[in-house]
Structure 1
Amino acid sequence: MEESGRRVFARRLRHAREELRKLTQAQLGEMAGLPATSISHFENEEGTRKPSFDNLRSLAKALDVTTDYLLGRADEAHGIALDEQLYRDVKSLTEADKQIAEDLIKRLAERNKPKG
């Protein structure tokens, strides 16, 4: 994570914690299985401490945002996460159930298609 990437991560982490989830550093730390001091270090824009991949995933999961959002690769905090979850869920279905899911999704997409 380069210097500017670290700053983006620090700002996004703080924003997601304070504004989106209304959590303290201690609360987020508990939810992510990390000490509050680690959260503090990660949120320090001038600091040098960066999260491991596992910690990044734990933070994103606890905040219900994507890792791409925290890293500054996506501006939308949630969109991709739902798509990823649906993809994981579909992979566990039988072929017959996958066909039902595909048909349902097609019908929903048609229903929500703009008219005109």
Structure 2
Amino acid sequence: MTTSLGAKIKRHRQEKGYSLDKLADLTDSSKSYIWELENRDTRKPSAEKLTRIAQALSVTTDYLLDDSAEPGDEVLKEAFFRRFSKLTTEDQEKISQMIDLWGKKD
């Protein structure tokens, strides 16, 4: 199954509950630009825009660009790690402690 860039952006935007305006704000884009990406295959975003969109949607740029890729464990893990690595050391430590606690609930 092939899924276009626009279809992936739209699906993940809607899954996150983002309006066109919200995604535009998060990516320093205009509402019309996001709409064009979702609805017209003629628009090709710059690497910078694509990275911002991927980050806002918690996916990777590789996933967005690969017409045959579907979001799987590796994509989700990579997106999580990217977000985790941007946290402060203190917040990273808190999350590590939570993971340790969850692992002990067996």
TM over 0.5: yes
TM-score by length of 1: 0.60
Letter in 2 for 1:38: Y
Q: What number of residue pairs does the alignment pair up?
A: 89
Instruction: Give aligned-pair identity as a percent.
Output: 26
Q: Give 3-state SS (helix, strand or coil) of 1:10's partner.
A: helix
CA contact (8 A) 2:60 2:78 kept: yes
Unmatched 5+ stretches in structure 1? 90-103
Distance change >3 Å, CA 34–CA 69, structure 1 → 2: same
* 1:29 to 2:24 alignment: yes
Residue identity in the other structure for 1:56:
L
- Point out the structure with max Rg over C-alpha: 1
Q: Does 1:12 align with 2:8?
A: yes
In structure 1, what is the equivalent of residue 78 of structure 2? 80
Q: TM-score, normalised by structure 2?
A: 0.65
- Consecutive unaligned residues in structure 2, runs of 5 or more: 87-95
Q: CA deviation at 1:71?
A: 1.9
Q: Give the equivalent residue in structure 2 for 1:49.
A: 43
CA pair 68-74 structure 1, distance change in 2 beyond 3 A: farther
Q: 1:42 to 1:69 in 2, by over 3 A?
A: same
Matched, 1:66 2:60: yes
Relative contact order higher in (CA < 8 Å, ≥ 6 apart): 2
